[in-house]
Amino acid sequence: MRRSVKPAVIFLWVSLFVTGGAPFDAHGQVVRGRLVDSDGETGIGGAMVSLMDDREAQMERSLTRPGGLYQLAAPAAGRYRIRADRIGYATTFSDYFDLSAADTLTVNIVARIEAVSLAGIEAEAESRCRVRPEEGLTVTRVWDEARKALEAAAWTQERGYYQYEMQRVNRLMDRDNRRVISEDRSFESGYRQTPYVSRPAEELVEEGFARLRPNESVYWAPDAAVLLSDPFLDTHCLRLHRDERRAPGLLGLAFQPVPGRRLPDISGTLWLNPGTSQLRWLDFSYENLNLPDAVQSAAIGGRVEFQALPNGTWIVDSWRIRMPHTRVSTNPLTSRVQSVLEGLSVQGGDVLRVHGNEGTVMEADLGGRIAGVVFDSLRAGLRGARVFVEGTGVEVATDRNGRFELNRLEPGVYTVNYSHPYLERYSYVPEPFEVEVPEGAQVPSQINFAAPTITRILGNLCRDEQRPDDTANLPGGGALRNDGILVGQVIGPTGAPLPGVIVRILSRDFDISQDVTTVVNTTLRAGRSGVAVTTNESGYYRACWVPVDTYLDVSVMEPGEDLDPNQLQVGYTLSDLIKMREETVIIPADAPFETLILRVESN
């Protein structure tokens, strides 16, 4: 499955509105002026002014500059008036005026000071879902405040004059959408029309918000333009809603498809702050997907978050789409092929910073955080440890005091671990810990790690690998003890570590009394003739329970050699055995631990 929200095309035009230094450029019929406060002097920036014709159709719209200035172009001569909208305040209208062809008219407006408050509105007062509710209803009053933010977001989206630093996120969650299984992040920066854009509203209404196919399914989320569109408003009804568990203290404007809709659609809730009337976010879920009940019961849907910028523009600064991650299996009782829910695929993005001509106009908060300290064996902070979230690319290094903080995390349960060069040289992997990042947490979740002593590391180095009960037979009689542990690192010609290469450890005490042209079947098994191990991401390897008090030939397999380290039965000729010898080491029985660095001189 892939994310339904298509990335916007990079846009290199910077609006004149932002520069603020050049005069307006007048073409055709133009209305310009200034929106001021009730004192008649203080300009009001960030308000949405619209040019309305005598049938109340919106012809043009724009946000006022910080000083209250605006300019609107009329499509033709005619009779118009100006509407000025501010979130949290009543709408102001100018008187009607006549605009002649090629005329430029100045219309200054004194804004009304009547505040609009949504506090105290009870959702139960209007539980009926209404399509385009008429004036005078409480649901209409709430919609008008949501509309103001949506229009500002749609206007900002149309102009596209910001530079965005963004983070794209792909996550795989468990079936309960709680535990993070894996996560990939990517970052990008540049001028673009908008960080987030949906499919056109007409197409979504006519063809559906999801396209389900056997091999690929696509899901789309709405943006501000879709929510404001006539096709969407004509096919969805509105009602008031509250949910103190999911959105405590907020007032919801819920929508759902009108009866009779059969295409894949969405229902959801726009959440507003009753005190400020500001739009916070949209939660939505998918309807009419025609999926099995076990799949449909998952939290399939998403969230779109809105953010007001200081100059009155609005953007979508975060979005997520949750899609089912399924596999096909056969029911053992009915033998029927069925889809089984394995988890949720979550795709979306976050705006990290917004840059305009005036500099950085927005910087996102750090989101969910996990913080703590990595201590060494003496309980002092361990500098330079790598703390990471397993299954993701999220990691950070500890500072000189051993402190760390993982940020920009979404709510969920994460598996966190750490590593350090002095641990990696033994291929020692500490036990990970699960940490939960709660919804809406204001402080980081805490976790501390205590690095083990060298004695403890050596004592537990091979704890997860079974020790052979028998010994290796020597050609002339006798036996070898399987007590040895060999660790080391494989490095390349430049000294860089080589991850994912296979190291072979073979005893010289092979029975090679057969004819040299025949193949000697050598069992690569711990405690027998040898072992094959693979280096980790830092180039370290570890071989457990190898023979002691005997010569061991240690070599790195050449590129192209195909040997599964779990494959036990391998054939070698005598010439192969001679060719493989790179380094030789003896692990003494009285100190059965040895370190060996292997250098590969050429690729």
Whether residue 129 lies inside any domain: the answer is: no
Paired tokens of 464: 């997860």
Confidence grade of residue 251 (pLDDT, cut at 50, 70, 90): very high
Whether residue 7 lies inside any domain: the answer is: no
The pLDDT score that the predictor gives to residue 434 is 94
Q: What are the residues whose beta carbons fall under 8 Å from the beta carbon of 426, sequence distance 6 or more?
A: 457, 458, 461, 487, 540, 542
Q: Pick the more confident residue, 236 or 11.
A: 236
% residues pLDDT > 90 (the chain): 39
The pLDDT score that the predictor gives to residue 405 is 92
Select, from the ranges 87-96, 325-334, 479-488, 520-529, the one with the highest average predicted confidence (pLDDT). 87-96
Residue 383 has pLDDT above 60, yes or no: yes
Eight-state DSSP code of residue 590: T
Clarify whether residues 185 and 231 are in a common domain: yes
Clarify whether residues 296 and 374 are in a common domain: no
Residue 243 to residue 253: CA distance in whole angstroms: 11
State mean pLDDT over 424-443.
87
The answer to pTM > 0.75 is no
Whether residue 150 lies inside any domain: the answer is: yes
Asked whether the beta carbons of 148 and 86 are under 8 A apart, the reply is yes
Clarify whether residues 416 and 478 are in a common domain: no
Residue 391 to residue 172: CA distance in whole angstroms: 9
Specify the length of the chain in residues: 603
Residue 60: give its domain's CATH number.
Answer: 2.60.40.10
Residue 366 to residue 303: CA distance in whole angstroms: 18
Q: Work out the mean pLDDT of the chain and round it to a whole number.
A: 81
Whether residue 465 lies inside any domain: the answer is: no
Confidence grade of residue 234 (pLDDT, cut at 50, 70, 90): very high
The pLDDT score that the predictor gives to residue 559 is 58
The pLDDT score that the predictor gives to residue 58 is 93
Asked whether the beta carbons of 217 and 210 are under 8 A apart, the reply is yes
Amino acid, single-letter form, for residue 323: M
Residue 41 to residue 27: CA distance in whole angstroms: 28
Confidence grade of residue 20 (pLDDT, cut at 50, 70, 90): very low
Domain edge (last residue) among 326, 343, 363? 363
Q: Tell me which of 194-208, 369-383, 454-468 is least confident.
A: 454-468
Clarify whether residues 170 and 311 are in a common domain: yes
Q: Pick the more confident residue, 256 or 14.
A: 256
**What is the DSSP secondary-structure string of 228-241?**
HSHHHHHSEEEEEE
Confidence grade of residue 124 (pLDDT, cut at 50, 70, 90): low
Residue 400: give its domain's CATH number.
Answer: 2.60.40.1120
The pLDDT score that the predictor gives to residue 561 is 55
Confidence grade of residue 513 (pLDDT, cut at 50, 70, 90): very low
% residues pLDDT > 70 (the chain): 83
Confidence grade of residue 463 (pLDDT, cut at 50, 70, 90): confident
Residue 19 has pLDDT above 70, yes or no: no
Clarify whether residues 409 and 323 are in a common domain: no
The pLDDT score that the predictor gives to residue 229 is 94
The pLDDT score that the predictor gives to residue 14 is 24
Whether residue 271 lies inside any domain: the answer is: yes
- Paired residues of 301 in beta bridges: 285, 322
Name the pairing type of β-strands 551-556 and 502-507. antiparallel
Domain edge (last residue) among 116, 149, 169? 116
Clarify whether residues 446 and 420 are in a common domain: yes
Residue 339 has pLDDT above 70, yes or no: yes
State mean pLDDT over 369-375.
94
Residue 272 to residue 143: CA distance in whole angstroms: 10
Residue 12 has pLDDT above 70, yes or no: no
Clarify whether residues 180 and 314 are in a common domain: yes
The pLDDT score that the predictor gives to residue 24 is 42
Paired tokens of 11: 């846009």
- 344-364, pLDDT tens digit by residue? 999 999 998 888 877 888 888
Paired tokens of 60: 């043009």
Q: Pick the more confident residue, 61 or 126.
A: 61
Clarify whether residues 211 and 339 are in a common domain: yes
- 288-304, pLDDT tens digit by residue? 998 888 788 888 999 99
The pLDDT score that the predictor gives to residue 569 is 39
Radius of gyration of the chain (CA): 33
The pLDDT score that the predictor gives to residue 378 is 86
CA separation, residue 282 to residues 207, 251, 535 (Å): 22, 12, 47
Domain range holding 503?
A: 470-599
Confidence grade of residue 342 (pLDDT, cut at 50, 70, 90): confident
The pLDDT score that the predictor gives to residue 581 is 43
Confidence grade of residue 524 (pLDDT, cut at 50, 70, 90): very low
Clarify whether residues 304 and 156 are in a common domain: yes
Q: Considering its fold, how many domains does the chain have in total?
A: 4
Paired tokens of 280: 């916070």
Give kind and range of the element (H or E) at residue 93: strand 92-93
Domain edge (last residue) among 363, 386, 416? 363
Whether residue 487 lies inside any domain: the answer is: yes
Q: Pick the more confident residue, 10 or 584.
A: 584
Clarify whether residues 233 and 347 are in a common domain: yes
Q: Pick the more confident residue, 182 or 268.
A: 268
State the distance between the two ends of the chain, measured CA to CA, in whole angstroms.
38
Clarify whether residues 487 and 394 are in a common domain: no
Whether residue 440 lies inside any domain: the answer is: yes
Clarify whether residues 541 and 422 are in a common domain: no
Residue 252 has pLDDT above 90, yes or no: yes
Q: Is the dihedral of CA 371, 169, 348, 161 positive or negative?
A: positive
Residue 532 has pLDDT above 50, yes or no: yes
Residue 8 has pLDDT above 70, yes or no: no
- Paired residues of 363 in beta bridges: 353
Whether residue 130 lies inside any domain: the answer is: no
Confidence grade of residue 578 (pLDDT, cut at 50, 70, 90): very low
